[in-house]
Amino acid sequence: MEKLKTAVLGASGYTGAEAVRLIMGHPNLDLVALTAHRHAGKAYAEVYPHLAHQGLPDLQNWQDVKWDEVDAVFACLPHGASEDTIAEIAQKSIKIIDLSADFRLKDAQIYEKTYGRKHTSPELLAGAVYGLTEYARDNLKTASLVACPGCYPTASLLAVLPALKHINTDNIIIDAKSGVSGAGRKESTALIYPETAEGAHAYAVGNHRHGPEIDEKLSAATGQNITVSFTPHLIPMNRGMIATVNVELNDGVLVDDLRTVYEARYKDEAFVHVEAEGIVPHTRHIRASNQCRIGIFADRNPSRAVIISVIDNLTKGSSGQAVQNLNGMMGWDETLGLNLVPVFP
Amino acid sequence: MEKLKTAVLGASGYTGAEAVRLIMGHPNLDLVALTAHRHAGKAYAEVYPHLAHQGLPDLQNWQDVKWDEVDAVFACLPHGASEDTIAEIAQKSIKIIDLSADFRLKDAQIYEKTYGRKHTSPELLAGAVYGLTEYARDNLKTASLVACPGCYPTASLLAVLPALKHINTDNIIIDAKSGVSGAGRKESTALIYPETAEGAHAYAVGNHRHGPEIDEKLSAATGQNITVSFTPHLIPMNRGMIATVNVELNDGVLVDDLRTVYEARYKDEAFVHVEAEGIVPHTRHIRASNQCRIGIFADRNPSRAVIISVIDNLTKGSSGQAVQNLNGMMGWDETLGLNLVPVFP
Amino acid sequence: MEKLKTAVLGASGYTGAEAVRLIMGHPNLDLVALTAHRHAGKAYAEVYPHLAHQGLPDLQNWQDVKWDEVDAVFACLPHGASEDTIAEIAQKSIKIIDLSADFRLKDAQIYEKTYGRKHTSPELLAGAVYGLTEYARDNLKTASLVACPGCYPTASLLAVLPALKHINTDNIIIDAKSGVSGAGRKESTALIYPETAEGAHAYAVGNHRHGPEIDEKLSAATGQNITVSFTPHLIPMNRGMIATVNVELNDGVLVDDLRTVYEARYKDEAFVHVEAEGIVPHTRHIRASNQCRIGIFADRNPSRAVIISVIDNLTKGSSGQAVQNLNGMMGWDETLGLNLVPVFP
Amino acid sequence: MEKLKTAVLGASGYTGAEAVRLIMGHPNLDLVALTAHRHAGKAYAEVYPHLAHQGLPDLQNWQDVKWDEVDAVFACLPHGASEDTIAEIAQKSIKIIDLSADFRLKDAQIYEKTYGRKHTSPELLAGAVYGLTEYARDNLKTASLVACPGCYPTASLLAVLPALKHINTDNIIIDAKSGVSGAGRKESTALIYPETAEGAHAYAVGNHRHGPEIDEKLSAATGQNITVSFTPHLIPMNRGMIATVNVELNDGVLVDDLRTVYEARYKDEAFVHVEAEGIVPHTRHIRASNQCRIGIFADRNPSRAVIISVIDNLTKGSSGQAVQNLNGMMGWDETLGLNLVPVFP
């Protein structure tokens, strides 16, 4: 079989580098182009030394890519930038997996309110598939543009979706914790080691951009208007994300019932694992893999339960899920290139 | 003035070492004895090299301490061990500040259920003052035995107590995160660096021992039976603790009202600071100090609010509060020896 | 082709777990048995949760392994334990790759002096091949027992061997730094997070067990009696190792000459990369890969040079090199199963 | 006694914040002004939240300080900026402790070569005292301008100076490791958590700016021309620095002799401690204190020895030594305000 020729747009960010890592290990993918506006012309190893000695293409401007020779694109651009670039590329018959926020929200008004800019490609938005893979398979098969969920929505939705019929959807409390790579590779004093190591803090309390995304997808799944409580925290680790979800069980629902529901929903999933009773998932145990692990626990309050999901924000929370989506778009085995054994310690 | 002669029992644990650090910087305290069962006879610096070159007494068995020459004791023993030792020492006229869990719970049955052993000193328990200093001042003045709150209860109670009249007390969700020193200085594979660094996880979900303590104190404050949701996490940092509390506001209560209530309650406190709107407290900004900082935020759900408190688990969450309590017992300025500027970075 | 059936002895240590990770990704290897004395009977995921959900065999006692059905063994046992076990297994026609220290030193007297026990299998020792792969290929082809070098010797020898003819071998100063996984998965207070994070220290100064190993291999390469200066340090990271080697150049030798020598020696190596002038290798850039990267620098003192090598102590410094050695023993492409893209960040 | 009125110039850097912390705990010092060019007009807590709630003055431009009301200045400015500012302030009768590099090197040509700019205040330079306090006391008493040594020179010189008569000064190998705060509070992608955590690397190999400073001071102490080998590394910790010095002993000198020399030199020092045989100093054990601890060890090579010193780069390596120098300038007890118990863990 000839391999699919892929390009990574925005290869200078962490999700771009993770996409490159995964493409390199994928049996059906070839990497033919890497773009990065500010670094065009440089060897990729100048930007990411860990990817030196691998024979990778140099960085270039996306306009200079020979798009006729590209079959699929992983777009790892900042929001806004992504939309404009994709609007151009979308005119060619290229599969596009967008890792930005630009095509995640179906409601363009919420997009504008959340991201502070008007969405200018409503027709593209209409056709974009929201690629939470485990819930998007049918649509992926015919999709030409897939919007990969944000990392927090991935961890949160996988943790909450199976429960929706069994809980009070007005009382979903998500307390989330992310590793620092989630903030991106930014020139920012707030992210330097002394400001982020050896301590923890919440941020964007009450107004994180991933909140509306979680709301929209939960609302779509239920037909109700759901507003979750969502408080993200930054903690000192490179990779990893926890969503600790506290829910109020409907009358008569027991925690064991909830576990049964989750086990049924995810038993055939390659990447989502419901842990046995009493097993608490750690982020470090799924590091660098495409796994999501979910633990279900009795709360101290007998009418409530705690659902905990962990993912690697750069893999299942971003580039891993992107590859999983491409596998789905191509009709391939969804695990191709993604049988990544977690790296521990 | 002659200094008060103090001893630290269980000086081989982290709270013991922190008590020593604070005593050394306290103008009214002399350190006359250090005990540690397993290490009796050793120089303290063998156990804690950071306290070398300070002229500290050697470690000894607590039975060998000249108790006639001791005015006050910081008992940093494991629960169970603490109760028995204190029962003996309590017969002398020594001020006792107990940092274990043995005298925190007023209800001996809950103690037994929580700690798996029968409480054998009910008469001592009856007289013990629960030393959440900001709420215990009147009782401290006449106390001879003070039980210092656990670290999670300290962070949680300071965050929740002022709100009780303004929130639904059936729906208090506490998501807490602790640094690794909170687990103590234990010979434990689960605590070695590769098992605790670069990752995060919840633990004791639904059954952490500090849950009943929080319940009991909130219930006592309201006369209601309160059961909080409480999920602790271990995150890779030495010191520090966050309690992120999600609460449901009573009808008509606004977040600004809540902030007003907190500001009124804590405006004269030396160690508890309510942050201005929009300021998120970080654990690293109160490191090694006796401060508690509290941020109050609108939740995404307009009927809810988020209250975030941070403390250093070894200082305000343990030995710092212990010294604060001794200051209160002695009728001294409560800040004596505790004007610790946070150490950052 | 039928896959080679492999077993991992001592699968409860970090090198064992890393061997399992690498075997799982190797196209020619099947994993048929995992042993761990203390944990026999447990699911492997109980000991290493990151390897859950992979269908791995349970842990068993090594005596219970069906050795007739095993083709190759990775022995990840502590020294001493390894020798005795291997002496038994060696009687079957099984390829043995030993990751312990038991067969590294050719001189049994130095072994005894270094490890405090008499070597009891001198005949096995005589036949064992020291598996610094890049320098052992010819011998690997016919070897039945390969002793994998220690992590420090791997980093140090790869950094020093090419230089030997060009430097004063009486003045080789190796300052090495290791991540904490190098200390093993031990129940040890000295290794818990608060004792190892946020700080650094030397250890075993002047008497680390890897010193004699480095000496013996450098001496064998030159016919001289070489004693290196070697000071290891523990630094707060899970994986990674640096050897910073300061050498005195022979008269007339320039740093550029040295680089030319290294480039010539390693230009065809798949895993050892000599960095271009000015590029400093980081451990984080080879994390979880089998790479060794070497930088060569002018010292401030014009008669000296600095050679810096980095490896992942668990991969090239241990289980990765072990797989590389097995590949060599089997006559396979040496990179089989080892094209591991570094995991960053 | 009236307190000395002090100002901190460049209070937005880490050394500035550490100076503030130390001034706040100093019985004889008042803090009257804080300057920071870019942040003038802001509350200090906006820049350093850990110093909130302390009643500190707002940040201002240094030109706006009422210099008539200032007795002493800690100048924590970048090099170059420091020189120009100090040239102006020096005209008033103010004690100046400069923490920049601008007055450390006596040789203006080496300064120019090292820092890439011409020194423009040669007359100030001539009068500046190099404030390695333990070796500068006599000069401090009459000094009006003290240049505080760099962090690496502090650790290195305290480790090497006592040995000079007993070692081959042509063969001094300093391998140094610093915490990340040593790089300053910079907006730099290279310093963000994912680029600095969980890994280690050398930097500025062969050309770090602190090399010439070490050379000059060792040369001045001996009358010889000394060029040390000096390789700094960045390791993942906030504070702390190790200098591991490998030296060649003169004929007949034993390691025990060396220890005797060090013990004699430092036995009366409040902050420099020579550890007993076998004790390895850790950076974490002197964290946030003004201590330097030195261990002396036999090397594997009997003609060599290893001297290891640890300091906190921000305290003894910077602002702590600055306060120690001011104490010396004022004729006060040198330990005033510096009896800082190390913060561990």
pLDDT digit string (tens) for C60-109? 999 999 999 999 999 999 988 888 899 999 888 899 999 999 999 999 99
pLDDT reading at C309 higher than 90: yes
**Angle at Cα C102 formed by Cα C98 and Cα C107, nearest 5°?**
125
Domain interval for residue A43: 4-127
List alpha helices for C62-164, DSSP H. Answer: 81-89, 108-115, 122-127, 137-140, 151-160
Residue-averaged pLDDT of chain A:
97
Contacts of the segment B265-274: beta carbons below 8 A, 24+ positions apart: B265/B161, B265/B162, B266/B134, B266/B162, B266/B294, B269/B134, B270/B334, B270/B335, B270/B338, B271/B134, B271/B316, B271/B324, B271/B335, B271/B338, B272/B134, B272/B158, B273/D52, B273/D53
Q: Pick the residue of A169, A170, A189, A205 with the most B CBs within 10 A to test the interface with B by mutation.
A: A205
Mean pLDDT of D139-158: 98
Asked if residue A278 and residue A165 are part of one domain, the reply reads yes
Percentage of chain C modeled with pLDDT above 70: 100
Nearest CA in chain B to A345: B194
pLDDT confidence of residue C58: 98
Cβ neighbour number for residue C254 with a 10 Å cutoff:
13
Strand intervals (E) in B133-284:
145-147, 173-178, 201-202, 229-234, 241-248, 272-274
Asked if residue A301 and residue A264 are part of one domain, the reply reads yes
Domain boundary among the residues B111, B127, B143 is at B127
Sorted by sequence, the CB contacts under 8 Å of residue B155 that are 6+ apart come out as B176, B241, B242, B243, B292, B309, B310, B311, B317
Cβ neighbour number for residue A147 with a 10 Å cutoff:
30
Residue D319 forms part of a structural domain: no
Asked if residue B211 and residue B268 are part of one domain, the reply reads yes
pLDDT confidence of residue C243: 98
Compute the half-sphere exposure of residue B167: CA atoms within 13 Å on the CB side of its CA: 26
Catalytic residues of A: 151
CA–CA dist B37, B41 (Å, integer): 9
Residue-averaged pLDDT of chain D:
97
Instruction: Determine what percent of chain A falls in helix, strand and coil, rounding each to the nearest 5.
Output: 35, 20, 40
**Residue C147 dihedral angles phi and psi, to the nearest 5°:** -100, 115
Buried b (16+ CB within 10 A) or exposed e, C131-153: bbbbbbeeebeebebbbbbbbbb
Per the document, the length of chain C is 345
Mean pLDDT of D131-154: 97
Buried b (16+ CB within 10 A) or exposed e, B260-287: ebbeebbeeebbbbbbeeebbbbbbbbb
Query: Which chain D residues are within 8 Å of C288, Cβ to Cβ?
Result: none
**Cα–Cα distance list, A146 to A127, A212, A311, B155, B186 (Å):** 9, 19, 20, 44, 49
Confidence of residue C237 (pLDDT cuts 50, 70, 90): very high
* Contact (CB, 8 A) for D343 and B48: no
Percentage of chain D modeled with pLDDT above 90: 96
Asked if residue D118 and residue D56 are part of one domain, the reply reads yes
Asked if residue D73 and residue D190 are part of one domain, the reply reads no
pLDDT reading at B1 higher than 90: no
Residue D136 forms part of a structural domain: no
Asked if residue B176 and residue B69 are part of one domain, the reply reads no
* Contact (CB, 8 A) for D288 and D315: yes
Q: Pick the residue of D167, D181, D301, D304 with the most C CBs within 10 A to test the interface with C by mutation.
A: D301
CA–CA dist B59, B36 (Å, integer): 6
Contact between A300 and B229 using a beta-carbon 8 Å cutoff: yes
pLDDT digit string (tens) for A196-243? 999 999 999 999 999 999 999 999 999 999 999 999 999 999 999 999
Domain boundary among the residues D111, D127, D143 is at D127
User: What is the CATH number for B292?
Assistant: 3.30.360.10
pLDDT confidence of residue B99: 98
Residue B270 forms part of a structural domain: yes
Task: Output the CA torsion sign for C284, C285, C290, C291.
Answer: negative
Nearest CA in chain C to A22: C341
pLDDT confidence of residue B304: 98
* Contact (CB, 8 A) for D124 and D87: yes
Residue C267 forms part of a structural domain: yes
Asked if residue D200 and residue D58 are part of one domain, the reply reads no
pTM of the entire predicted model? 0.97
Confidence of residue D231 (pLDDT cuts 50, 70, 90): very high
| Residue in the structure block whose two tokens are 């778009």 | A329
Asked if residue C122 and residue C54 are part of one domain, the reply reads yes
pLDDT confidence of residue A303: 96
CA–CA dist D147, D164 (Å, integer): 23
ipTM of the predicted assembly exceeds 0.95: yes
Query: Which chain A residues are within 8 Å of C197, Cβ to Cβ?
Result: 198
Catalytic residues of B: 151
The DSSP code for D207 is T
Asked if residue B281 and residue B170 are part of one domain, the reply reads yes
Residue-averaged pLDDT of chain C:
97
pLDDT reading at D50 higher than 80: yes
pLDDT confidence of residue B279: 98
Strand intervals (E) in chain C:
4-9, 29-35, 59-60, 72-75, 95-98, 129-130, 145-147, 173-178, 201-202, 229-234, 241-248, 272-274, 292-298, 304-311
pLDDT digit string (tens) for C119-178? 999 899 999 999 999 999 999 999 999 999 999 999 999 999 999 999 999 999 999 999
CA–CA dist A48, D195 (Å, integer): 10
Instruction: Determine what percent of chain D falls in helix, strand and coil, rounding each to the nearest 5.
Output: 35, 20, 40
pLDDT confidence of residue D222: 98
pLDDT confidence of residue A231: 98
Asked if residue D123 and residue D32 are part of one domain, the reply reads yes
pLDDT reading at D1 higher than 90: no
pLDDT confidence of residue C181: 98
Contact between D286 and B54 using a beta-carbon 8 Å cutoff: no
Confidence of residue B318 (pLDDT cuts 50, 70, 90): very high
Q: Nearest C-alpha of chain D: how many angstroms from B93?
A: 30
* Contact (CB, 8 A) for B56 and B44: yes
* Contact (CB, 8 A) for B238 and C194: yes
pLDDT digit string (tens) for D72-112? 999 999 988 888 899 999 888 899 999 999 999 999 999 99
CA C311 to chain centre: 9
Closest listed residue to residue B71, CA positions, set B157, B2, B135: B2
Partner residue facing B189 (CB), from C186, C194, C196: C186
CA–CA dist C86, A123 (Å, integer): 68
User: What is the CATH number for A32?
Assistant: 3.40.50.720
Mean pLDDT of C307-330: 98
CB pairs A-C closer than 8 Å = 67
List residues of D whose CB lies inside 8 A of any A CB.
Answer: 14, 180-181, 185-189, 191-198, 236, 238
CA A297 to chain centre: 25
The DSSP code for D175 is E
CA B52 to chain centre: 26
Three-state SS at D267:
coil
Q: Nearest C-alpha of chain A: how many angstroms from C345?
A: 6
Closest listed residue to residue D255, CA positions, set D310, D300, D311: D300
pLDDT confidence of residue A45: 98
Strand intervals (E) in chain A:
4-9, 29-35, 59-60, 72-75, 95-98, 129-130, 145-147, 173-178, 201-202, 229-234, 241-248, 272-274, 292-298, 304-311
Nearest CA in chain A to D187: A189
**Most distant pair of Cα atoms in chain C: their distance:** 63
Residue A52 forms part of a structural domain: yes
Residue B25 forms part of a structural domain: yes
pLDDT confidence of residue C14: 98
The amino acid occupying position C197 is: A
Confidence of residue D201 (pLDDT cuts 50, 70, 90): very high
Three-state SS at C286:
coil
Mean pLDDT of B91-104: 95
Closest listed residue to residue B7, CA positions, set B80, B51, B54, B71: B71
* Contact (CB, 8 A) for C167 and C247: yes
Query: Which chain C residues are within 8 Å of B180, Cβ to Cβ?
Result: 192-194, 197
* Contact (CB, 8 A) for B149 and B157: yes
pLDDT confidence of residue D274: 98
Q: Nearest C-alpha of chain B: how many angstroms from D119?
A: 32
* Contact (CB, 8 A) for A107 and A124: no
User: Tokens representing B74?
Assistant: 């910081």
Asked if residue B122 and residue B11 are part of one domain, the reply reads yes
Domain boundary among the residues D87, D111, D127 is at D127
pLDDT reading at A1 higher than 80: no
pLDDT digit string (tens) for A82-98? 888 999 998 888 999 99
Residue D323 forms part of a structural domain: no
pLDDT confidence of residue A256: 97
pLDDT digit string (tens) for C177-209? 999 999 999 999 999 999 999 999 999 999 999
The DSSP code for D249 is B
* Contact (CB, 8 A) for D293 and D275: yes
Asked if residue A190 and residue A306 are part of one domain, the reply reads yes
pLDDT digit string (tens) for A260-284? 999 999 999 999 999 999 999 999 9
Name the domain count of chain B.
Answer: 2
* Contact (CB, 8 A) for A178 and A152: yes
Contact between C285 and A53 using a beta-carbon 8 Å cutoff: no
Residue D236 forms part of a structural domain: yes
pLDDT digit string (tens) for A24-72? 999 999 999 999 999 999 999 999 999 999 999 999 999 999 999 999 9
Compute the half-sphere exposure of residue D195: CA atoms within 13 Å on the CB side of its CA: 19
CA–CA dist D163, A306 (Å, integer): 62
* Contact (CB, 8 A) for D51 and D17: yes
CA–CA dist D246, C94 (Å, integer): 45
pLDDT digit string (tens) for D272-283? 999 999 999 999
Buried b (16+ CB within 10 A) or exposed e, C285-324: bbbbbbbbbbbbbbbbbebbbbbbbbbbbbbbbbbbbbbb
